[in-house]
Amino acid sequence: MTDKHADEQHNALMDYPCDFTIKTMGLANTGFDLIVVEIVRRHAPDLSESAVQSKFSKSKKYVSISITITAQSKQQMDAIYQDLTDCEQVLMSL
């Protein structure tokens, strides 16, 4: 499958702009949520604090951060996920 074909399939599934929730997991150290919000805000500057939710694991060792944005394009989403992947503190992004 070519990249162009994959992009066409993705665009057929997603109708931009649309609400989209990004979920990240990391160690529950001080500031993880701020790091994730800063990364997402680079690409979605209108992000509001009410769009951010966090939940600790049972052991309180890990935290998941869910951020709902109004996604404008596949390119925007790709850039967000690339920056999250590049961040050492982020263990996983969905």
CATH number for the region 3-93 comes to: 3.30.70.260
Q: In the prediction, which pLDDT does 71 show? A: 97
What would the pLDDT profile of 60-81 be if each residue is shown by its tens digit?
A: 999 999 999 999 999 999 999 9
pLDDT at 10 over 60: no
Dihedral of the CA atoms 28, 32, 37, 43 (nearest 10)? Answer: -120
* DSSP type of residue 16: S
pTM, to two decimals: 0.84
What would the pLDDT profile of 24-52 be if each residue is shown by its tens digit?
A: 999 998 799 999 999 999 999 999 999 99
> Contact 30/20 with Cβ under 8 angstroms?
no
Q: In the prediction, which pLDDT does 6 show? A: 53
